[in-house]
Structure 1
Amino acid sequence: MSDKKIHFTKMHGAGNDYIYVNTLLYDVNDPNSASVRWSDRHKGIGGDGLVLICRPTTDAADYRMRIFNADGSEAMMCGNASRCIGKYLYERGLTDKTEIKLETLSGIKTLMLHLDNEGKTVESVTVDMLEPLTENHRQYADLSGGILLAEGRRFEGTFVCMGNPHFVTFLNDIDTIDIARYGAVMERDSNFPERCNIEFAQILSDGAIRTRVWERGSGITMACGTGACATAVAAALTGRASRRSEIRMDGGTLQIEWRTTDNHVYMTGPAEIVFDGEIGE
């Protein structure tokens, strides 16, 4: 580790926590390695990964997000992280816009900031997550007709691409299932050439959807924004819910709307700053 100090901000969206660095001010030369070291909850800062706030590569965007999982692999998109970036940019005075175009590896996402009455604090953010796909041959080979076998158990589910791959399976034992046991196997199933995020979901008596997440490259996480979107789409496609869903995850609740007007999925939820600090690179 060098003597160079990098300022970071720890943030979370519905418990999905990442370490954020503004690369307009600080260079992170090896973000893959840094994500592994800094994400360690015992020896580092602790988090689900590292998020870099960068200059965009296109005039169509205001800023760019790069996101690295806790295992050092680079992810295409994270809905919770994108909401946190919206809050960071506005509250730290980097923009006065309440509609921000954010470049990601899965396209340019529009962040719509919802402010408090004084216009100083971002209370929640709606993200246009664009159009979901149920086929993506690069991410999903579909070798077994939507059936995965893991540790002797059969899981029937729905593949949904929200830029990144998700497999959503609906269960009746959501609170007792060992998602670490099954998720680790399902993530690396031969159906998924690039590995996959796995959502275990259950329709509750009040119509909300309880969802637990095994996130590709990070393992169990408190929430996953793209996973919440994928769960809502899968529920609508299978007739379990309408195109508006309340997704209750371990870290909090997200509101998802799959609009008929443009076929885009819109995700609304909170974003919170936890603390600021410095760490050696």
Structure 2
Amino acid sequence: MVAFRKMHGLGNDFVVLDARPRPLPLPAETVRALADRRRGVGCDQVIVIEPPRSPGTDAWMTIRNPDGSEAEACGNATRCVAALLMDEAGKDRVALGTLGGTLRAERRPGGLVAVDMGTPRLAWHEIPLAREMDTLHLPLARDGVSDPAACSMGNPHATFFVPDVAALDIATLGLSLEHDPLFPARANIGFAQVVAPDRIRLRMWERGAGITLACGSGACAAVVNAHRRGLAGRSAAVVLDGGELNIAWGEDGRVTMTGPVAEVFTGVIDLPAIAEARAA
């Protein structure tokens, strides 16, 4: 039996496993079983806390999507894991290693956690895209949306700017766009309505997960791409389906995301058994 925590950031929810005491092999079918909202625990991502892999970090964070694939970064999960580690160590700052780079987090007043998400990667090969092009205007369109901007926040994002995000069929558009040949590693797809220079309404289709209530890296990408387009300032409140994140793209080039975290419940689970039960 393995202990787990169910946590979320603005409804973007996670099953968090601690693999620091001992390794936890997680084949794709086990991840899919854990993430299943009817036959498992249910989540947008399965998060595994592992021993640090580099000096100056407190732990390594592995991020698994509901389809079993691995993601490079997740801002909301980083806040959740950072809150756990800060409580555990009795300190106000931690650093997490991820495939997308080292993410540093700290406590903020009001129970909030801020994460330094690093510097956006704006070159076509850094996102990555399938061929060289202007990342501020991608030659990509679907019914009702076109001309997105792209960047990487440790993971690939494309942001479409639209007049009314509520009018879009996010499920149909997101699934098609995630798998467009322009994105060799697939992509997270954001649909952003700039309400004011300091306020953006955003809905997200996450790669490997589908529609989620919130996406931290997607909110960062929306502000970065909106500012690059001249649509918003360097900081903005991003209103997602699950709540609000504050994003600031500093003059030093680094993006900071601030928002709440919550622990919903804890439990124990038999990992092999849950995978077998789902397959039956």
TM-score between both structures, scaled by the size of structure 2: 0.91
Shift of 1:90: 2.5
Q: Aligned in 2, Cα 1:10/1:28: closer, same or farther, shift over 3 Å?
A: same
Q: Which residue of 2 aligns with 1:53?
A: 49
Partners of 2:49 and 2:257 in 1: CA distance: 20
Q: Which residue of 2 aligns with 1:228?
A: 219
Q: Secondary structure at the match of 1:71?
A: coil
Question: Do residues 110 (structure 1) and 98 (structure 2) align?
Answer: no
* Runs of 4+ that moved beyond 6 A: none
Shift of 1:153: 4.3
> Over aligned residues, Cα RMSD in angstroms?
1.6
Q: Which residue of 2 aligns with 1:181?
A: 172
Q: Which residue of 1 aligns with 2:113?
A: 125
Shift of 1:219: 0.5
Shift of 1:103: 0.4
The equivalent position to 2:258 in structure 1, one of 254, 258, 268, is 268
Residues 64-121 of structure 1: per-residue CA shift (max 9 Å, x gap): 1000001000000000000000111123x2x1221111101011111111256xxxxx
Partners of 2:74 and 2:196 in 1: CA distance: 29
Question: Do residues 12 (structure 1) and 2 (structure 2) align?
Answer: no
Shift of 1:156: 1.2
Q: Which residue of 2 aligns with 1:278?
A: 268
Q: Is the 8 A contact 1:31 1:68 kept in 2?
A: no
Q: Is the 8 A contact 1:39 1:45 kept in 2?
A: yes
Partners of 1:42 and 1:26 in 2: CA distance: 28
Shift of 1:26: 5.2
Q: Which residue of 2 aligns with 1:168?
A: 159
Q: Which residue of 1 aligns with 2:65?
A: 69
1:76-155 alignment runs, 5 A limit: 76-91=72-87, 93=88, 95-114=89-108, 123-137=111-125, 139-141=128-130, 146-150=138-142, 152-155=143-146
Partners of 2:224 and 2:92 in 1: CA distance: 27
One-letter amino acid of the counterpart of residue 54, structure 1:
E
Question: Do residues 202 (structure 1) and 193 (structure 2) align?
Answer: yes
Q: Secondary structure at the match of 1:175?
A: helix
Q: Which residue of 1 aligns with 2:31?
A: 35
Q: Is the 8 A contact 1:76 1:164 kept in 2?
A: yes
Q: Aligned in 2, Cα 1:55/1:80: closer, same or farther, shift over 3 Å?
A: same
Identity level (%):
39
Residues 197-247 of structure 1: per-residue CA shift (max 9 Å, x gap): 000000125841000000000010111110000000011001111001110
Partners of 1:135 and 1:206 in 2: CA distance: 25
Q: Is the 8 A contact 1:50 1:70 kept in 2?
A: yes
Q: Secondary structure at the match of 1:241?
A: coil
Gaps of 5+ in 1: 117-122
Q: Secondary structure at the match of 1:185?
A: helix
One-letter amino acid of the counterpart of residue 280, structure 1:
D
Alignment: residue pair count: 267
Gaps of 5+ in 2: 272-280
Q: Is the 8 A contact 1:31 1:50 kept in 2?
A: no
Q: Is the 8 A contact 2:112 2:259 kept in 1?
A: yes
One-letter amino acid of the counterpart of residue 131, structure 1:
T
One-letter amino acid of the counterpart of residue 114, structure 2:
T
Partners of 1:100 and 1:33 in 2: CA distance: 31
Q: Is the 8 A contact 2:125 2:132 kept in 1?
A: no
Shift of 1:35: 1.7
Residues 117-149 of structure 1: per-residue CA shift (max 9 Å, x gap): xxxxxx111111110012141611357751313
Q: Secondary structure at the match of 2:140?
A: strand
Q: Secondary structure at the match of 2:148?
A: strand
